[in-house]
Structure 1
Amino acid sequence: MAKETGRKLVASNRKARHDYLVEDTFEAGLVLTGTEVKALRMGRASLVDGWAGFDGDELYLEGVHIPEYLNGTWTNHAPRRKRKLLLHRKELTRISHLTRESGHTIVPLALYFKDGRAKVEIAVAKGKKEYDKRHALRERQDNREAERAISSRRRGED
C-alpha cells in the first residue's frame, strides 16, 4: 500500500473562529485507538463541543465526537472519550502560561490527516463578546458588498 502524503481534512470547527479571538495555534498529534482511526478515515467527526484542558502536566482533548466504527466489534471506542494530545514540552508550557490569563481557553480548530497521521489544530483563544461578533459579521458583509460593487463596475466598463 502506498504511503499517504499531504493533508486530508476530516472536520473543522468554523464556529470557533466566530465565537473566539484566536491568539495562537498549535498542531498536535492524537493518541487514538484503531476503530477511532478507521472512523476518522471515513470522514466522520465533530469538533463543535470540543475543548482541551490540562490534567496534571498533560493536555487532553475533550468533547470531540468521533462516532463508533460501523464494522467494529466489542473493541469499539466510546464516542466522546478523553484523548491525549501529543505536544513538545516547550509547547505545553507555553500553552499553560497563555491559558493562565483570564478568559483564555483551548479550542480545536481542525482535525486532519497529515502524511497518514491524525493531527488536530488547537488554538489558544479568548472568548468574544456579543458586540464583537456582530461587528465582525458587519465588517465581513461590508467587504463583500464593496467587492461586489467593484466587480460589477469593472464588468460595466468593459
Structure 2
Amino acid sequence: MLANKCRFQIIPCITSTKRINFAIIFEIMADTSTEKNIITNRKAQHDYFIHYSYEAGIVLVGTEVKSLRQGRAALVDSYAVIQQGEVWLLNANINIYDQGSYNNHDPIRKRKLLLNKSEIRKISRATLEKGYTLIPLRLYFKDGKVKVELGVASGKKKYDKREDIAKRDLQRETLRKFK
C-alpha cells in the first residue's frame, strides 16, 4: 500500500572525489481521496451476511445533499432493486432540509444509483439466486460527491445472530483481560 503513496526521485550528486553518486529522495504523497461517513446501516451487519460490496453514485437534488451534509438520513429498512437495467434505492429516508423552500424534496423517494453495466449484470445475477438481496451499507462523501456502498447479502437466521453476539462478547472479555 505504501508503494502507491510514495514517489521517488533520483538526483545525481558530485562528491569531493569527483565521483557521481545518486541520491534517492522519497516523498510520501498525501492521500487525496477523502471519505467522510454520513450514515452507516448497522442493522445490516446484524441481520445479513454481506458477500460482496459495490460503490455506487446516487442521483440527488440540492436540498437532499444539504440535508446529508447535516447528517440527517436513515438507511434502516432500505433496499435496492434492479428495474429495466437500472438500480434504484428504495425506502432510504433523507430528512427534509430545514432551510429549504416550498419545493423541498420528498424524504422517502425512489433514488437512482449509478453503476457500470458490468457491475449491474454481476449484481443482477447474484440477486436472482434465492435468498440474496441488495442493501445499502453506508452513505458517505468521497471527493465532494455522495456515494452509497451496496452489499449483496443473504439473511441471517436467529441462531446465526446468537453466534455473532456470543463471539462479540468473547472478544470483549479477552480484550478486558489483556488490559
TM-score by length of 1: 0.90
Residue in 1 aligned with 2:35? 7
Check if 1:79 corresponds to 2:107.
Answer: yes
Pick from 69, 72, 76: which aligns with 2:97?
69
Pairwise CA distance, 1:147: 2.2
Pick from 104, 118, 132: which aligns with 1:90?
118
Q: Which has the higher contact order (CA 8 A, sep 6+)?
A: 1
Unaligned runs of 5+ in 2: 1-31
Residue in 2 aligned with 1:41? 69
Pairwise CA distance, 1:143: 1.7
Pick from 7, 20, 23: which aligns with 2:51?
23
Pairwise CA distance, 1:5: 5.4
Pairwise CA distance, 1:150: 2.8
Please say if residues 27 and 120 of structure 1, whose CA atoms lie closer than 8 Å, have aligned partners that are also in contact.
yes
What SS does structure 1 have at the residue aligned with 2:112?
Answer: strand
Structure number with the higher strand fraction is 2
In structure 1, C-alpha distance between the alignment counterparts of 2:56 and 2:115, rounded to whole Å: 6
Query: What count of residue pairs does the alignment treat as equivalent?
Result: 148
Whose Rg is larger?
2
Structure number with the higher helix fraction is 1
Summarize deviations over 1:90-145 as a string: whole Å, max 9, x none.
10000000101110001111001100000010100000000000011001111211
In structure 2, C-alpha distance between the alignment counterparts of 1:145 and 1:29, rounded to whole Å: 40
In structure 2, C-alpha distance between the alignment counterparts of 1:47 and 1:17, rounded to whole Å: 12
TM-score by length of 2: 0.80
Residue in 2 aligned with 1:128? 156
In structure 2, C-alpha distance between the alignment counterparts of 1:148 and 1:31, rounded to whole Å: 45
In structure 2, C-alpha distance between the alignment counterparts of 1:147 and 1:77, rounded to whole Å: 46
In structure 2, C-alpha distance between the alignment counterparts of 1:133 and 1:57, rounded to whole Å: 34
In structure 1, C-alpha distance between the alignment counterparts of 2:173 and 2:118, rounded to whole Å: 44
What SS does structure 1 have at the residue aligned with 2:152?
Answer: strand
Pairwise CA distance, 1:43: 1.1
Pairwise CA distance, 1:75: 1.8
In structure 2, C-alpha distance between the alignment counterparts of 1:54 and 1:124, rounded to whole Å: 12
Unaligned runs of 5+ in 1: 152-158
Q: Percent identity?
A: 49
